[in-house]
C-alpha cells in the first residue's frame, strides 16, 4: 500500500454530526446498527462520492433516509463503503454490520477479554465496528444503545452520561442508553459489557459539581482498586489546581481488562485500562507498579482536555496530544513525589528507549511526515521526546508565559481537531516569541549532539564557552538545521557554590538558561572570579547528547558538589560509563583490567550522603544498564564484553561497601505497615540496591540474607528484588525460590508476569532453553499481550547477551515468535519486532545473524501491514 503523507492532507468532503449506535451483543454474532447524520462540507460538490472506511466488515443492511438502498447505489467491500452519488441535502444513513467479537484476536475494534466485551478504537479500530469516516477530524455527538443478556452482562457502559435503562420483557435481555454531548472523533468511542464488580466513589469539582467515579474490575478484585481510585482523585484535583481544567461529564468510568494491546485508552468518560495499570496491593504490586498506576491513571485522565476536548486534525499530529499529555503526567508525578528522582527516571527512560530509536533505522521526527501503519507511530519519539519538546517550551518561555500560552490553546481550540502549528501559535502570541526555529524540534529526527569546550582567562577574569551542535546523519535525513536548545547551567566555583558573573556575550542568557540556536556559538562570561566547573544541561533541559570533555577530577567535584541533583547524578553516571566503556574494550580484546578506584570511591561515598533522600541515593547507586553502555559504545557492540565489564564494576563496588550495607538492608522494614508513598518506596529502593551489592560482595552470609529476604518479604517490591538476585546471579536456591514464588502467586496473572520476566531476563546460556520451555508452560498464553511481553519482549529487550547470542538462536527465537504472533495480533508482533532496531550497531558476526533473522521475517509473504512496515524500515 502507498505511504500516507502529511502533505497530502485534505479536509473531509462530508461531515457526520450525529451517530446513533444500537449494539446488540451476543456471543459469536453481534449486530451493530449505526445511524449517521451526514452532510456535505462547505465547498464539496453536490453528488461527490461518500467513501467510508471499513476493516474486515460485512454489511448486513443499508438505508438512506429510512428507505432501503438499491444495490446499484452503493458498493461495499470489507474495507470500504462507497455511495456513488449521495443526496445534496443532509441525509441519514443507516448501516447494519455483523461482528464476531470472540474471533477478534487483534484486540482492535470490538473484542472479548475473558468474558467481557470491550472496544479499542484508537487509532483506526472504529472502522472494525461500522463503516465510518474514521479520521480524527470528523467529530460527532454519539448516542449508544447497548443490549445484552442481563445474566452475562449486567454492566453496560459507553461514553458520556447514562440516560435510560430497561429490560426487554421475556428475553432475559436488557439495555442501556448512553449519550455523550461532547463531539468527538470515532477513535474515542468505547463500550464495555460484562459481569464486572463496581467500585464507586465521588469527586466534587472546583465549581461544586459532583462526579460519580467508578472502577470496574473482575469480581473479587475490588480490594485492588484503592490506589487507582486515589490516583484518579488526586489527578482530577491537580488538573484543576495546576492547569485550571475541570471535568465535564456526570460520570467518569474506568474499566480494567486483562487483554489489551497497550497501557490504557482515554475514551471519553470511559477509560479502558490494561489491568496492570489499575490493580495493586502490596502482595502483588511493586513500588514501580504503584508509580506506574499513578502515572497512567493521570495520563488518561489528563487526555480529557489534551486529546479529547482538543484533538488531533490527523494522525501526523499525534504528539499534539501525546507529548503534551506525557509532559502533564510527568509534572503530576513530580508534584506527588520527588521532582529530582522523577526527572532522573524520565531521563533514564528517554535515553534507553528514545535515543536508540532516534539513532537507528526506525528514527522519525516527533511529527512524522509519512507512515504506512499508524499503529507503529505510538513511539518513544512521539511520546517521550514529544514531552521533552513541550518541556523545552516551558523552559524557554518561563512558567508564566507557558501557562498563558496553554490557556490560550484551551480557549481557542476547545472542541476542535487541530495541529502543532496552531498549538505553537498560541505560545507565540501569548509570549510574543517567534517559535519558527523552535518548531524544527517537530520536523527533524535524530538526537542533536552538543559539543562544549571552555577556557578561563585569569587575567581578564573571563570564561569562554564554545558550543556547537549537530545531528548525526540518519536514514532519510542527510543534513539538518540548528535547533533552539535551552541549556540550563551553573558555573560552580571552587567552594562548590554557583558563582555570580558579570555580563554575558554571545547568547541569549536568562538567569540560568543559555540558549544555543546556531551551529557554533562562543559565549563569554565576564567578571568570573576563578576558574569554574561548567555544570551544563542541568535537569536535562534538552533532549541532546552532551559531549563535554570533563576531566575525572571535575566530574568527581561535580558528583560531590553540584547543587543541581540531576547533574550530580549525571556526573556519577558519566564516571561509571567512562569506566564501563574502557573495561568492555579491554574484555573484548582479551586484556586484563580492573575498575577505576575513583569510580568505586564515588559509589562508596553516595551511600553515606544522608542529606540526599533514599530514592536519590538508590538511583545514584544504579550502574548504567548494559543497553546504556552498548549505546554509548555505538558500534561493533559485543554484549558479552559489556556484561562482564558491568559485573566487574558491580563486584568491585560491592566489595568496597560490603561492610556498610547491612544496616541499610534491614532499615526499611522498621516502618511497620506497608505504605506505597514515595518516602517508604525510596527506603525500599535503597535497601534493595544495597542487597543487590551484598549478593555479590563475597560476604559469607550473602545467600542466606537474600534468601531470607525473599522468604520473609511482606511486599512484592522486596520479594521480587530478592528473587531477581537469586535467579540473575544464579544463587544456590534459585530453583527453590522460583517454585515458591509460583506456588504463592499462581492465581495472580500480574504477579506471574513478573515470574516469566525474571526468568527471561536472566543472563546465562541456559536462559534460551528456559524461555522455550516456558512457552509451553500451562501458564503461558500466546494470546495475552502482557504474557507475551513478559516472556518474549523482555527477553529481546532486557537480555542483551542472550538475544544476541553468538549461535543466532536468540534472534531466531524472536523471529519465529514474531511470525507466529503476527497471524493473531499484528500490533503485538510488530512491537516485538522493533527489538531488532539496533542490529547494525552490533559486531559483524552478530549483526549478520540478526540480518538473517530479519530477512527470514521479510521473506514471509503474508506479513501484516504492521510487521511489514517495521521489517522493511529496519532493514533499509
Residues identified as active-site: 300
Segment contacting Zn ion (CB under 5 A): 318-326, 533-541, 624-632, 688-696? Answer: 318-326
Q: How far is the CB of 307 from Zn ion (least distance, A)?
A: 7
Contact partner at residue 123 from ligand HT7, Zn ion, none, CB < 5 to 8 Å by partner kind: ligand HT7
Q: How far is the CB of 318 from ligand HT7 (least distance, A)?
A: 8
Q: How far is the CB of 299 from ligand HT7 (least distance, A)?
A: 6
Compute the distance between CA of residue 483 and CA of residue 365 in angstroms, rounded to an integer: 13
Compute the distance between CA of residue 608 and CA of residue 630 in angstroms, rounded to an integer: 30
- Judged by the rule CB under 6 A, the positions of this chain that interact with ligand HT7 are 120, 122-123, 261-262, 264-266, 299-300, 303, 322, 375, 378, 827
Q: Which residue is nearest to ligand HT7 (CB)?
A: 262
Residue holding cell 547551567? 489
For 656, phi then psi, to 5°, come to -70, -40
Helix (H, G, I), strand (E, B) or coil at 454: strand
For 337, phi then psi, to 5°, come to -125, -150
Give the nearer residue to ligand HT7 in terms of CB position, either 275 or 640: 275
Q: How far is the CB of 105 from ligand HT7 (least distance, A)?
A: 14
Contact partner at residue 418 from Zn ion, ligand HT7, none, CB < 5 to 8 Å by partner kind: none
Q: How far is the CB of 253 from ligand HT7 (least distance, A)?
A: 16
- Helix, strand, coil in percent for the chain, rounding step 5: 45, 20, 35
Contact partner at residue 822 from Zn ion, ligand HT7, none, CB < 5 to 8 Å by partner kind: none
Handedness of CA 290, 829, 444, 414 (dihedral sign): negative
Segment contacting Zn ion (CB under 5 A): 235-243, 314-322, 711-719, 743-751? Answer: 314-322
Altogether, the residues listed in the chain come to a count of: 876
Q: What is the DSSP letter of 211?
A: E
Closest CA to 732 of 766, 702, 762: 702
Give the nearer residue to ligand HT7 in terms of CB position, either 86 or 826: 826
Contact partner at residue 122 from Zn ion, ligand HT7, none, CB < 5 to 8 Å by partner kind: ligand HT7
Compute the distance between CA of residue 483 and CA of residue 460 in angstroms, rounded to an integer: 32
Give the nearer residue to ligand HT7 in terms of CB position, either 377 or 438: 377
Residue holding cell 571535575? 554
Contact partner at residue 314 from Zn ion, ligand HT7, none, CB < 5 to 8 Å by partner kind: none
- Residue 454 Cα to chain centre, angstroms: 37
Binding mask 325-344 for Zn ion (x = CB under 5 A): x-------------------
Q: How far is the CB of 115 from ligand HT7 (least distance, A)?
A: 21
Cis peptide before 511 (omega within 30 of 0): no
Compute the distance between CA of residue 835 and CA of residue 812 in angstroms, rounded to an integer: 13
Give the nearer residue to ligand HT7 in terms of CB position, either 74 or 301: 301
Give the CA distances from residue 223 to residues 119, 198, 422, 752, in Å, rounded to whole numbers and listed in that order: 25, 11, 44, 19
Give the nearer residue to ligand HT7 in terms of CB position, either 322 or 626: 322
Q: How far is the CB of 338 from ligand HT7 (least distance, A)?
A: 24
Q: What is the DSSP letter of 265?
A: E
Q: For residue 499, give every residue at least 6 positions away whose Cβ sits within 8 Å of its Cβ, in sequence order, or none.
A: 491, 492, 493, 528, 529, 530, 532
β-strand partners of 91: 38
Contact partner at residue 275 from Zn ion, ligand HT7, none, CB < 5 to 8 Å by partner kind: none
Give the nearer residue to Zn ion in terms of CB position, either 322 or 753: 322
Give the nearer residue to ligand HT7 in terms of CB position, either 59 or 262: 262
Q: How far is the CB of 99 from ligand HT7 (least distance, A)?
A: 18
Number of residues that bind Zn ion (CB under 5 A): 2
Give the nearer residue to ligand HT7 in terms of CB position, either 269 or 565: 269
Q: For residue 384, give every residue at least 6 positions away whose Cβ sits within 8 Å of its Cβ, in sequence order, or none.
A: 326, 346, 349, 350, 353, 354
Contact partner at residue 640 from Zn ion, ligand HT7, none, CB < 5 to 8 Å by partner kind: none
Q: For residue 526, give every residue at least 6 positions away whose Cβ sits within 8 Å of its Cβ, in sequence order, or none.
A: 460, 461, 462, 501, 502, 503, 504, 505
Segment contacting Zn ion (CB under 5 A): 112-120, 140-148, 320-328, 497-505? Answer: 320-328
Contact partner at residue 112 from Zn ion, ligand HT7, none, CB < 5 to 8 Å by partner kind: none
Which positions touch Zn ion (CB under 5 A)? Answer: 322, 325
Amino acid at each position: 500500500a502507498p505511504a500516507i503523507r502529511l502533505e497530502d492532507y485534505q479536509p473531509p468532503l462530508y461531515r457526520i454530526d450525529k451517530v446513533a449506535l444500537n449494539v446488540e451483543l451476543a456471543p459469536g454474532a453481534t449486530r451493530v446498527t449505526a445511524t449517521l447524520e451526514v452532510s456535505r462540507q462547505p465547498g464539496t460538490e453536490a453528488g461527490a462520492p461518500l467513501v467510508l472506511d471499513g476493516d474486515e466488515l460485512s454489511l448486513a443492511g443499508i438505508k438512506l433516509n429510512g428507505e432501503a438502498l438499491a444495490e446499484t447505489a452503493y458498493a461495499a467491500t470489507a474495507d470500504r463503503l462507497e455511495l456513488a452519488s449521495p443526496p445534496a441535502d443532509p441525509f441519514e444513513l443507516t448501516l447494519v454490520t455483523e461482528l464476531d467479537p470472540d474471533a477478534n484476536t487483534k484486540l482492535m475494534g470490538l473484542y472479548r477479554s475473558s468474558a467481557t466485551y470491550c472496544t479499542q478504537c484508537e487509532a483506526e479500530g472504529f472502522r472494525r465496528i461500522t463503516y465510518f469516516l474514521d479520521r480524527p477530524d470528523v467529530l460527532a455527538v454519539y448516542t449508544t444503545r447497548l443490549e445484552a443478556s442481563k445474566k452475562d452482562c449486567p454492566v453496560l457502559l459507553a461514553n458520556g452520561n447514562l440516560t435510560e435503562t430497561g429490560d426487554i420483557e421475556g428475553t432475559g435481555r436488557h439495555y442501556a442508553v448512553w449519550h455523550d454531548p461532547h463531539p468527538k472523533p470515532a477513535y474515542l468511542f468505547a463500550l464495555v459489557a460484562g459481569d464486572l464488580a463496581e467500585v464507586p466513589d465521588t469527586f466534587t469539582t472546583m465549581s461544586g459539581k459532583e462526579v460519580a467515579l467508578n472502577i470496574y474490575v473482575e469480581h473479587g478484585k475490588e480490594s485492588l482498586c484503592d490506589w487507582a481510585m486515589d490516583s484518579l482523585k488526586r489527578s482530577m484535583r491537580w488538573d484543576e489546581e495546576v492547569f485550571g481544567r475541570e471535568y465535564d461529564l456526570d460520570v467518569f468510568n474506568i474499566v480494567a481488562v486483562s487483554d489489551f494491546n497497550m497501557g490504557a485508552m482515554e475514551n471519553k468518560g470511559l477509560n479502558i485500562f490494561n489491568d496492570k495499570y489499575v490493580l495493586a496491593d502490596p502482595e502483588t504490586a511493586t513500588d514501580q507498579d504503584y508509580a506506574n498506576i499513578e502515572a497512567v491513571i493521570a495520563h488518561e485522565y489528563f487526555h480529557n482536555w489534551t486529546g479529547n476536548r482538543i484533538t488531533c486534525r490527523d494522525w501526523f499530529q499525534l504528539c499534539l496530544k501525546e507529548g503534551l499529555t506525557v509532559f502533564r503526567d510527568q509534572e503530576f508525578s513530580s508534584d506527588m513525589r520527588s521532582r529530582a528522582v522523577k526527572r532522573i527516571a524520565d531521563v533514564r527512560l528517554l535515553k534507553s528507549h528514545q535515543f536508540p530509536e532516534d539513532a537507528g533505522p526506525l528514527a522519525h521526527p516527533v511529527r512524522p511526515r509519512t507512515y504506512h501503519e499508524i499503529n507503529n507511530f505510538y513511539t518513544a519519539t512521539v511520546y517521550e521526546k514529544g514531552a521533552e519538546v513541550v518541556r523545552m517550551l516551558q523552559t524557554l518561555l518561563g512558567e508564566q508565559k507557558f501557562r498563558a500560552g496553554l490557556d490560550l490553546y484551551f480557549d481557542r481550540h476547545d472542541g476542535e481537531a487541530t495541529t502543532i502549528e496552531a498549538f505553537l501559535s498560541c505560545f507565540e502570541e501569548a509570549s510574543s516569541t517567534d517559535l519558527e526555529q523552535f518548531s524544527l524540534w517537530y520536523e527533524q529526527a535524530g538526537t542533536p549532539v552538543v559539543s562544549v569546550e571552555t577556557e578561563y582567562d585569569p587575567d581578564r577574569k573571563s570564561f569562554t564557552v564554545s558550543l556547537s551542535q549537530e545531528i548525526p546523519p540518519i536514514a532519510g535525513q542527510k543534513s539538518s538545521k540548528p535547533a533552539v536548545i535551552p541549556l540550563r547551567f551553573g558555573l560552580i566555583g571552587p567552594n562548590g557554590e554557583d558563582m555570580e558573573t558579570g555580563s554575558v556575550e554571545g547568547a541569549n542568557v536568562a538567569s540560568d538558561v543559555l540558549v544555543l540556536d546556531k551551529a557554533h556559538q562562543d559565549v563569554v562570561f565576564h567578571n568570573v572570579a576563578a576558574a569554574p566547573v561548567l555544570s551544563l544541561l542541568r535537569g536535562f533541559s534538552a533532549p541532546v547528547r552532551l559531549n563535554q570533555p570533563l576531566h575525572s577530577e571535575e566530574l568527581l567535584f561535580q558528583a560531590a558538589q553540584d547543587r543541581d541533583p540531576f547533574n550530580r547524578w549525571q556526573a556519577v553516571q558519566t564516571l561509571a560509563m567512562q569506566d564501563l566503556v574502557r573495561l568492555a574494550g579491554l574484555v573484548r580484546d582479551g586484556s586484563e583490567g580492573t575498575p577505576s578506584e575513583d569510580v568505586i570511591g564515588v559509589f562508596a561515598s553516595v551511600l553515606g550522603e544522608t542529606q540526599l533522600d533514599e530514592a536519590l541515593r538508590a538511583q545514584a547507586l544504579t550502574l548504567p544498564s548494559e543497553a546504556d553502555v552498548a549505546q554509548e559504545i555505538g558500534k561493533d557492540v559485543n554484549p558479552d564484553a559489556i556484561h562482564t565489564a558491568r559485573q566487574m564494576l558491580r563486584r568491585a563496588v560491592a566489595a568496597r561497601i560490603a561492610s556498610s550495607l547491612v544496616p541499610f538492608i534491614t532499615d526499611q522494614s522498621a516502618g511497620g505497615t506497608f505504605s506505597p508513598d514515595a518516602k517508604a518506596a525510596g527506603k525500599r529502593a535503597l535497601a534493595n540496591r544495597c542487597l543487590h551489592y551484598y549478593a555479590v560482595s563475597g560476604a559469607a552470609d550473602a545467600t542466606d540474607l537474600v534468601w531470607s529476604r525473599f522468604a520473609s518479604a511482606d511486599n512484592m517490591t522486596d520479594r521480587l528484588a530478592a528473587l531477581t538476585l537469586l535467579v540473575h546471579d544464579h544463587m544456590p536456591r534459585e530453583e527453590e525460590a522460583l517454585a515458591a514464588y509460583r506456588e504463592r502467586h499462581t492465581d495472580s496473572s500480574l504477579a506471574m508476569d513478573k515470574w516469566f520476566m525474571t526468568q527471561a531476563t536472566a543472563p546465562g546460556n541456559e536462559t534460551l532453553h528456559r524461555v522455550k520451555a516456558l512457552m509451553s508452560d500451562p501458564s503461558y498464553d500466546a494470546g495475552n499481550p502482557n504474557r507475551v511481553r513478559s516472556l518474549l519482549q523482555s527477553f529481546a529487550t532486557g537480555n542483551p547477551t542472550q538475544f544476541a547470542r553468538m549461535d543466532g538462536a536468540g534472534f531466531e527465537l524472536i523471529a519465529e515468535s514474531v511470525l507466529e504472533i503476527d497471524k493473531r495480533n499484528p500490533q503485538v508482533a510488530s512491537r516485538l519486532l522493533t527489538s531488532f532496531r539496533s542490529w547494525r550497531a552490533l559486531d559483524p558476526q552478530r549483526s549478520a545473524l540478526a540480518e538473517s533473522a530479519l530477512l527470514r521475517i521479510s521473506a514471509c509473504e503474508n506479513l501484516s501491514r504492521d510487521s511489514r512496515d517495521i521489517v522493511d524500515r529496519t532493514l533499509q
